[in-house]
Structure 1
Amino acid sequence: MTSTAAPSRKVLSKIACNRLQKELVEWQVNPPAGFKHKVTDNLQRWVIEVNGAPGTLYANEMYQLQVDFPEHYPMEAPQVIFVPPAPLHPHIYSNGHICLVVSMSAACAYAWVEPHDILYDSWSPAMTVSSICISILSMLSSSTVKQRPADNDRYVKNCRNGRSPKETRWWFHDDKV
């Protein structure tokens, strides 16, 4: 199953192609623990298997991430979502959208303005698919409760027309997660 919120399909720039090919080779040589890249012939969309870390709420559970790369990657962040069914987590909506906050101690809410987390406003071209995966696994591993964000139903309802998580502004409002 793939997301209906896929970004527009523009051809990757030469810089993006070179960077992704380099990251793919590095991944094959040194994959991040707990992740497996599902090989396809599409460099612009990666599907990655995520295995929950031992000793966490997600141990022995497997999920899939879909990573869609924009034309100007790495200058622009990829779109990263969980392919439903997404893990039950206070920062992961049931449609797979992720609020990957810099400080994992904040819970998320949203507004439709502009994005605000490490996959969006705090994105840096120095980040890689591997570093994103490690951040996501850290977010999963640090959770003490399996539950959806409090505003899950409202958020998912507003995304039904194919809205991308990149169109979301995340607000961080408590420290219980």
Structure 2
Amino acid sequence: MSHPGEVLDKGLMDLATAVLDSCVAARTHLATAESCTGGLIAGCLTAIAGSSSVMDRGFVTYSNEAKTQMLGVPADIIEANGAVSEPVAKAMASGALERAPVGIAVSVTGVAGPGGGSEEKPVGTVWIGLAREGKEAYARRFNFDGDRSAVRKQSIAAALQMVLDELRRDRPGGVA
């Protein structure tokens, strides 16, 4: 078993710092809704001193029941599309946004492996959703390579980058 500290490398910490700085500049708070990353996105953010000025809460919704109970993801959406899907990632992010006093929420659902994959959704398939106050939620599909630890690390980086990109869209000149 790998140690969670192995995930928190300098590159991820720099990215997390940029996200926190961008949230401060945008005067917004952030929530996470995580499945395959098991709270590691929130862990990266809260490893940084002063993160409490931005990070409100993290939902770890590993089971389908948790996604429904904690985030309000309709069970029929999970049943029709599977937990690792665009509609579920969008609903997770929207659910976190609705349940927390924040302006932006990011979600992650995926197949980290080594088992659990299928032909349609092989190991490394990850959906990351983003919901922002006043905007329609969206999600992107990623196909990451490597073992469980590598898939989770790439998922954290992609989620943080999506938040950063979204916040930068609203800054003059596109720079946060």
Same fold, TM exceeding 0.5? no
TM normalised by structure 2 equals 0.31
